[in-house]
Amino acid sequence: MNVMQLAARKVSRRLVRDFGEVENLQVSRKGPGDFVTAADVRTDEKLRDALQQARPNFGFLTEEGKDIVGQDETRRWIIDPIDGTMNFMHGTPVFSISIALEEAGEVTAGLVYAPVSDEMFWAEKGQGAYLNDRRLRVATRRHMGDTVIGTGMPHMGSPDTTGYLAELGAVMAECGGIRCLGAASLDLAYVAAGRFDGFWDTGLAPWDIAAGLLLAREAGATVSRTDGGGNPLYAGDVLVANEAIHSRMLRLIRHSRRAE
C-alpha cells in the first residue's frame, strides 16, 4: 500500500498541473465517446515506471498500455491513470487515479486517489477501507426513499441504451436521488464512504472498478453483478450497496428487464 500511495501522489502533481491547463492538452480520439489525452498516456507511463521500480516482477493490466505479464505471473497491477477523462478534459474536477493489486486472480489491495481534493481512498483485503486515515463504513439507510444512488450513463456508441433507461426509470421512481459522477472508481469509493447508498452500471472494464470493488467490500457493501451473479470484476456490470438496499435494487433492475 505504501508503494501504491507513493506512486499515486508522485504522478498526481503533474496531473493537477495539466488539469489547470486543460485547454492546452493534446487530445486524440480513441473511439466513440472515448477520448484519450496526452496526460492519460503520460500518467500511465509514470505510474508503471514507479510501480515497476518497487515491484519489478509484477505484471500490468492498464487502460492505456498493452498487458504485461511479469516474471511473477500470479501478481499484476490493474491501473487506470485517469478515471473520468471526459471530466478532466472539460475542466470538471471529478476524476481519479485507480490502482489495484491482483494476486492469483483476486484483488488484495486497491486505492482510488482524487488529486484535486487530495482524497485517498484505500483498502487491503481483510483490513478494512479508509479515506486518508479515517475508517470507512457503508451507509446504513434501509429505505429506498432516503437514498442517493450513483450510476453511470450511456454515451455515444453505448449498447442497450433502452435497457439502461428502463433500469434508470425503475430506480428513480423509488430512490431519493440519482447521481452520475462520470468516474466509476469514485462512485464505488463514495459508496464505501457512505456518500452514496448504492451504485450500478454496466459496460465497465476491470481498471474502472478493481480498486473500487475492494473498497466497497471492505466497507461492508454487498457486491454483485446486476443480475445478482458473482464477482463483477471481469463481467463489466456492477451492483453495490448495503445489504438491504442491494436487495431492493436487484429486484427493481430485474423487474425492469422483464418489463422492457
DSSP one-letter code for 132: T
Q: Which of 67, 82, 84 is nearest to 11 (CA)?
A: 82
- State the Cα–Cα distance between residues 34 and 248, nearest whole angstrom: 32
Q: Which superfamily does 2-135 belong to? A: Fructose-1,6-Bisphosphatase, subunit A, domain 1 (3.30.540.10)
Q: Which of 186, 197, 200 is nearest to 237 (CA)?
A: 200
Bridge partners of residue 119, in order along the sequence: 114
Q: What pLDDT score was predicted for residue 212?
A: 98
At residue 150, the 3 state secondary structure works out as strand
Q: What pLDDT score was predicted for residue 89?
A: 84
- State the Cα–Cα distance between residues 208 and 112, nearest whole angstrom: 10
What global pTM score does this model have?
Answer: 0.92
**In the CATH hierarchy, which top-level class contains the domain 144-259?**
alpha beta
All structural domains of the chain with their residue ranges: 2-135, 144-259
Q: What pLDDT score was predicted for residue 30?
A: 56
Q: What pLDDT score was predicted for residue 48?
A: 94
Cell output for 155 = 454515451
**What tens-digit pLDDT sequence spans the chain (260 residues)?**
999 999 999 999 999 988 887 756 656 655 544 556 788 888 999 999 999 999 999 999 998 777 889 889 999 999 999 999 889 888 889 999 999 999 999 999 999 999 999 999 999 999 999 999 999 999 999 999 999 999 998 877 777 788 899 999 999 999 999 999 999 999 999 999 999 999 999 999 999 999 999 999 999 999 999 999 988 999 989 999 999 999 999 999 999 887 65
Phi–psi pair at 96, nearest 5 degrees = -150, 165
E-strand stretches of 168-213? 177-179, 198-201
